[in-house]
Copies of this chain bind each other. A is one copy, B any other.
Amino acid sequence: MRTLTVAAPSHSYPIFIGENLLAKLAEHLAPHVGKKAAVITNTTVAPLYLQHIQTALTALDTEHFAVILPDGEAHKNIESLNRIYDELLRRHAERGTTLIALGGGVIGDTAGFAAATYQRGAPFVQIPTTLLSQVDSSVGGKTAVNHPLGKNMIGAFYQPQAVIADLTALATLPAREFSAGMAEVIKYALLGDAAFLAWLEDNIDAVMAQQPDALAHTVYHCCAMKAAIVAADETERGIRAHLNLGHTFGHAIEAQMGYGNWLHGEAVAAGMVLACRLSEQTGRLKAADTERAAALIRRAGLPDAPPRFPFEKWLSHMRHDKKVSGGTMRFVGLDRLGAANITPVEDPEILRRTLAPYL
């Protein structure tokens, strides 16, 4: 097992990464649960892993109950949040009751926001069970739910007490979900680490096959990059925005296709190719670089192009992006592979040229 520390300004906490952590969970949970805990999970994950959490909590003499939500991005909304609030109150959860998020990014974001806002802040622990949540969403304290008019529009920065990433859990992940997680892995390589990009190009087949050393290195490396960025910029005033590479285009795809029809990682993958093309338009990236990124994306089993829909729809979705400032859209672009920038876009014509092949 490897341990990392996220030294966020508001609160420092550990990330545990290793195999079979769920089977010996009590020791990692012990410092973070008190008399009562609530496990927030979904209908897919509960049959696989809920028993492990319940066993650990019982061993720790912690009274506990579970809130089991329907699975999928379509349920990352205020209705799910209300179900959690209702159950917490019905079960007399206190301000000191620990919320345990067991699942992927949707569960982590939703349960994390519930923890941030229940009685103005209850402790919570992330137990990510997907590659995407292990390498990205469970770390750093971004919590949110979607609004019909925009993704992650309602949320808070709220750090967990601990993140427990069991690599063994990825064995039960459907291949499509594993690929979706790889989009965020590739994102780290493209936005800030040319050496990791080269390593990934050499080892992606081993990672896709979940070869243990390659997988452990990947999750650890991505979490370490995320931890460093969050320590430098917890609330996204600067460099943290680079983590949104591909996400402005990606969120537009998700909103247009209906949440959950394109997985978040799939939309981000296509979005990263578009971010590369935008950086070609603004003169910083070469077409060969875009092709190198697209090739890696394809090897991860991910789409390298967006679905076709009208330019006006793209614009309308992207105008709700959280990076919009003073009416100006701002995209994460690339100066070169391994180095991101923020590209303000005042003239939508550049976007039209970027998207032209896909309209």
Interface of A toward B, CB cutoff 8 Å:
34-35, 78, 82, 85-86, 89-90, 92, 94-96, 113, 116-121, 142, 144, 147, 149-150, 152-157, 235-236, 319-320, 322-327
Contact B96 A326 (CB under 8 A): yes
Contact B156 A121 (CB under 8 A): yes
Task: Report how far A327 CA is from B118 CA in the complex, Å.
Answer: 17
Contact B89 A150 (CB under 8 A): yes
Not counting A119-B153, A120-B156, a sample of 14 additional A-B residue pairs whose C-beta atoms are within 8 angstroms of each other reads A86-B147, A89-B147, A89-B153, A92-B319, A92-B320, A94-B322, A95-B322, A117-B117, A117-B156, A119-B155, A120-B144, A120-B152, A120-B155, A120-B322
Chain B residue contacts of A82, Cβ below 8 A: 78
Q: How many copies does the complex hold?
A: 2
Residue of A119, A142, A149, A325 most packed against chain B (CB within 10 A): A119
Task: Report how far A96 CA is from B324 CA in the complex, Å.
Answer: 9
Task: Report how far A326 CA is from B36 CA in the complex, Å.
Answer: 8
Chain B residue contacts of A142, Cβ below 8 A: 120
Name 18 A/B residue pairs within 8 A (Cβ), A-sorted. A35-B326, A85-B153, A85-B154, A86-B149, A89-B147, A92-B319, A94-B322, A96-B325, A116-B156, A117-B117, A117-B156, A118-B154, A119-B153, A119-B322, A120-B142, A120-B157, A120-B322, A156-B156
Chain B residue contacts of A319, Cβ below 8 A: 92
Task: Report how far A18 CA is from B82 CA in the complex, Å.
Answer: 41
Chain B residue contacts of A155, Cβ below 8 A: 117, 119-120
Closest to A145 in B: B117
Contact A121 B235 (CB under 8 A): yes
Task: Report how far A236 CA is from B236 CA in the complex, Å.
Answer: 26
Closest to A154 in B: B117
Chain B residue contacts of A90, Cβ below 8 A: 149
Chain B residue contacts of A156, Cβ below 8 A: 116-117, 120-121, 156
Chain B residue contacts of A113, Cβ below 8 A: 117
Closest to A63 in B: B327
Instruction: State the Cβ distance, A235 to closest chain B Cβ, in Å.
Output: 7
Chain B residue contacts of A320, Cβ below 8 A: 89, 92
Instruction: State the Cβ distance, A60 to closest chain B Cβ, in Å.
Output: 15
Q: Which of these, B96, B117, B147, B152, contacts A85 with CB under 8 Å?
A: B147
Task: Report how far A85 CA is from B149 CA in the complex, Å.
Answer: 10
Instruction: State the Cβ distance, A323 to closest chain B Cβ, in Å.
Output: 8
Task: Report how far A113 CA is from B322 CA in the complex, Å.
Answer: 18
Task: Report how far A94 CA is from B236 CA in the complex, Å.
Answer: 14
Chain B residue contacts of A96, Cβ below 8 A: 325-326
Chain B residue contacts of A235, Cβ below 8 A: 120-121
Chain B residue contacts of A118, Cβ below 8 A: 153-154
Closest to A236 in B: B120
Chain B residue contacts of A144, Cβ below 8 A: 120
Closest to A319 in B: B92
Residue of A78, A82, A154 most packed against chain B (CB within 10 A): A154
